Amino acid sequence: MFIGRDRELKTLDKLYHSDKFEFVVIYGRRRVGKTALINHFIDDKQSIYFMGVESNEKQNLENLSKSILEYSNGIETDTYFASYQAALEYVFKLAEKERVILTIDEYPYVARESKSLASTLQLLIDKYKDTSKLMLILCGSSMSYMEDHVLAYKAPLYGRRTAQMKIMPFDFEESCRYLKNMSDEEKAIIYGIVGGTPQYLLQINDKLSVEENIRNTFLNPMSFLYEEPMNLLKQEVREPAIYTAIITAIATGHSRMSEISTKVGEDTNVCSGYLKNLINLGIIKKETPYGEKTSKKSIYSIEDNMFCFWYRFVLDNNSIIVRGAADLVYKKIEAQLSDYMGRVFEDISAQYLWKQLLTGNSPVEFTSLGRWWGNDPKKKCQAEIDIMGEQDSNTALFAECKWRNENVDLDVLETLIDRSRLFHYTKMHYFVFSKTGFTKRCMEKAVEMGNVSLVKYEDIIDAMTHHYR
């Protein structure tokens, strides 16, 4: 089942039909669906597909030779090209007569072992770009490698590409397409526990309940997701133990650099390097209070929902799960699930606001959204705002999100208005997002003020999923 990636497919299709040399760079973290996208695109076209492996140069060259010669001769063969240059030049010449796609998947594995591969490609592109109808696709999961060695200014291939695509996990709207048979509430919870990574969404059976899915995937030692965070870290980093300690610290509420380093028992400079890598991998994000530049107040949180859920509920309960006591663990999860969903609901609400902006329905034309936290001098305490976004120095929006099984009362709106006064905007619009709905007092106040939008979770679902229901 192939879902989504409409924009990417459209772009690839357009490049394919240009009938001249094209060079596309596709990258993104593991499991995000890069290979599935490429396979879907090349399915009905003349194409050579080669997947690099973590092996030596000889092995990869033999595999590439096989892929090329099978394509051109239509039969398996035991002959190999003597060098990458000979193999690739053969393909460039082949493509002078017809449109051919050559995909080198997991390019970093190949290029790390063959130091001259990038320069060889550069040489051949410059030689054949005007005569060859080759469509070259380089794809890689090591994001830092692709950014530094393929896309960066100093890289040999710089300036040669005709398009690049960073493949991101699906947003909530796209993820819902995998979960057609679930109730609206279940869709949000599943998105909260596996996020938008296609490979993780495919582990979910949308005909079963949330509880059954959590038991089958996270509380079953034989399932794919049970070991996935560890496996992923082992593939990406050299010292998975330290990384695990850092993610665990963040998952258990230590969000500032000083707290993380104390918890892990490493110097802040050491932690900072590890955190950078985790940010590059799309696992952790660094946030500063909205509108502030200083990093003194920065906090770290887990960006990837699956990692967030796993480190919060699975890791510590490992020994119980292995002994088959899934019931005990599920009881713990169930008791904390609503609290866990608070952060997820903020993210879904922010995606709704972006959607409103892009469809021209937003009362405030913000350029970015973010959380804010800081000191309330009047009340002499810490204050937080779930979402805020600025249009200009006079106009902004403020939002509060509540994932609770009760209607949101007037006090929530009043607190939000109160906190917005810590800023100096003259025009403000307020959003309150609620899982279930609002009390009569709250709705009356919103009507009276005229600059308040009360949004229920079902309104979000309607706005996001109406076009493919």
Residue 348 lies in a domain: yes
pLDDT of res. 235: 85
Q: What secondary structure does DSSP assign to 276-298, as a single string?
A: HHHHHTTSEEEE--TT---STT-
Picking from 323, 354, 383, the residue at the C-terminal end of a domain is 323
**Ranges assigned E (strand) in 167-314:** 284-287, 299-302
The side-by-side arrangement of strands in the sheet containing 370-376 is 370-376, 381-390, 395-402, 427-434, 452-456
Among 224, 196, 368, which residue's Cα sits nearest to residue 282? 196
Picking from 263, 291, 323, the residue at the C-terminal end of a domain is 323
Residue 333 lies in a domain: no
Residue 452 lies in a domain: yes
Residue 362 lies in a domain: yes
Residue 334 lies in a domain: no
392 and 349 part of one domain: yes
For 340, how many CA atoms within 13 A lie in the half-sphere containing its CB? 25
* CATH code for position 253: 1.10.10.10
pLDDT of res. 314: 95
Which tokens sit at 179? 């979960």
* CATH code for position 133: 3.40.50.300
379 and 397 part of one domain: yes
Among 390, 434, 394, which residue's Cα sits nearest to residue 412? 434
25 and 154 part of one domain: yes
The answer to whether 299 and 313 have CB atoms below 8 angstroms apart is: no
pLDDT of res. 22: 97
Residue 44 belongs to what domain range? 6-166
pLDDT of res. 433: 98
192 and 238 part of one domain: no
- Total number of domains constituting the chain: 4
Which tokens sit at 141? 């999961």
160 and 201 part of one domain: no
Q: Which DSSP letter does residue 147 get?
A: I
pTM: 0.92
298 and 181 part of one domain: no
Separation of first and last alpha carbons in the chain: 17
pLDDT of res. 467: 56
Tracing tokens 């000979």 back to the chain, one arrives at 86
- Residues with Cβ within 8 Å of 80's Cβ and at least 6 positions away in sequence, in order, are 61, 62, 65, 66
153 and 280 part of one domain: no
| Cα(411)–Cα(101) distance, integer angstroms | 60
pLDDT of res. 237: 86
432 and 375 part of one domain: yes
398 and 452 part of one domain: yes
Residue 335 lies in a domain: no
pLDDT of res. 394: 97
132 and 29 part of one domain: yes
* CATH code for position 464: 3.40.1350.10
Residue 180 lies in a domain: yes
| Cα(436)–Cα(112) distance, integer angstroms | 53
Q: What is the pLDDT along the chain (469 residues), one digit of tens a residue?
A: 788 899 999 999 999 999 899 999 999 999 999 999 999 999 999 999 999 999 999 999 999 999 999 998 877 778 899 999 999 999 999 999 999 999 999 999 999 999 899 999 999 999 999 999 999 999 999 888 899 999 999 998 999 999 999 999 999 999 999 999 999 999 999 999 999 999 999 999 999 999 999 999 999 999 999 999 999 999 888 889 999 999 999 998 999 999 999 999 999 999 999 999 999 888 999 999 999 987 788 999 999 999 999 999 999 899 999 999 999 999 999 999 999 999 999 999 999 999 999 999 999 999 999 999 999 988 889 999 999 999 999 999 999 999 999 999 999 999 999 999 999 999 999 999 999 999 999 999 999 999 999 999 999 999 987 655 4
310 and 415 part of one domain: no
Residue 250 lies in a domain: yes
81 and 13 part of one domain: yes
